[in-house]
Amino acid sequence: MSMKIAIASGKGGVGKSMLCSCLCMLFSKKIVAVDCDVDAPNLAVWLSETGNWGKKIPVSTSLRSVFDLKKCNSCGLCAQNCRFGAITMKEKPKLNPFLCEGCSACKVICPQGAIRMKKVQNGEIRVKKTKYGFSLLSGHLFPGETGSGKIVSEIKEEASKLSYDLMLIDSAPGTGCPVIASLQGVDFVVLVTEPTLSGFSDLKRVLETVNHFNIPYGVVVNKWDIYKEKSKEIEKWAGDRFLGKISYDKGVFKTISELKPVLGSGLKIEKEIRQVFDNLPLKLSI
């Protein structure tokens, strides 16, 4: 029976993708890796797998208004009823595609039937077989486009078509639509935080979303030694859900700048990451 683990964080920049890339390599051929941070995907960078995507699948999850100016009588109702200010009116209506949310209100309100909704490609899913033996799927939302949550759902559906024992999902940070879509249907969540006031506060916020879906979870503190007192506080707060802590290591910056994976780099944090892997309660079940 296949399982799904999401790696999530309330705050950005806490080491979520770094940890996810290491877990992918430790699980190796049993898994499919999915980068669901479609606004800023970087799991491929941490895995040193940035080039030679085997397949690119176009994704169209958004609609956009198209005007038939021959039918239009310039009544202006479309501009008056657009809540997003995407339509301006002079002699004829004009659409700002970056503001259009595809809600279809203009189409419904138009008395002349001069507006139709057209699907637009707002992103793509990139697929490849990595040198580690598992498949990597990465979702990409095009600049200026909307619908990140819908693209996450699309990429998870595409990943589900593959054969795997475990799907590892690198979620976006925060609690927005892409995070909610990432967490739907998963069996376990690894919550990554840093020992700062903002990191701890945002951890509690994303935990509300995790609890809403009633998903079991574990907590990892990255860069624990930059604020040891706060790290101890988080560890005590997490209790038996605490999976481990990872030290602050400047060598990570050099490793990623050279497009090398952390696992196998010889850094001191490798042992700590392996300890987190060993503490995952689902490891023996897949």
Helix (H, G, I), strand (E, B) or coil at 31: strand
- pLDDT (tens digit, 9 = 90+) per residue, 177-220? 999 999 999 999 999 999 999 999 999 999 999 999 999 999 99
Name which of 202, 280, 210 is nearest 241 in CA terms.
Answer: 280
- The DSSP element (H or E) to which 50 belongs, if any, is none
Q: What is the mean pLDDT of the chain?
A: 93
Residue tagged 């809540």 (tokens): 83
Which ranges in the chain belong to alpha helices (H)?
16-27, 43-46, 77-81, 105-109, 148-159, 177-183, 197-212, 228-238, 251-257, 269-279
Which CATH fold topology does 62-120 show? Answer: Alpha-Beta Plaits (3.30.70)
Locate the domains of the chain by residue range. Answer: 3-60+123-285, 62-120
Which tens digit of pLDDT belongs to each residue from 114-143?
999 999 999 999 999 999 999 999 999 998
* pTM reported for the whole predicted model: 0.89
List pLDDT tens digits, range 146-168. Answer: 888 999 999 999 999 999 999 99
pLDDT at 283: 55
- According to CATH, the topology of domain 3-60+123-285 is Rossmann fold (3.40.50)
What is the distance between the alpha carbons of residues 153 and 169, in angstroms, rounded to a whole number? 12
pLDDT band at 282 (very low <50, low <70, confident <90, very high): low
Beta strands in 36-134 (DSSP E): 55-59, 62-67, 87-89, 93-95, 115-120, 123-129
Q: Are 134 and 32 in contact (CB under 8 A)?
A: yes
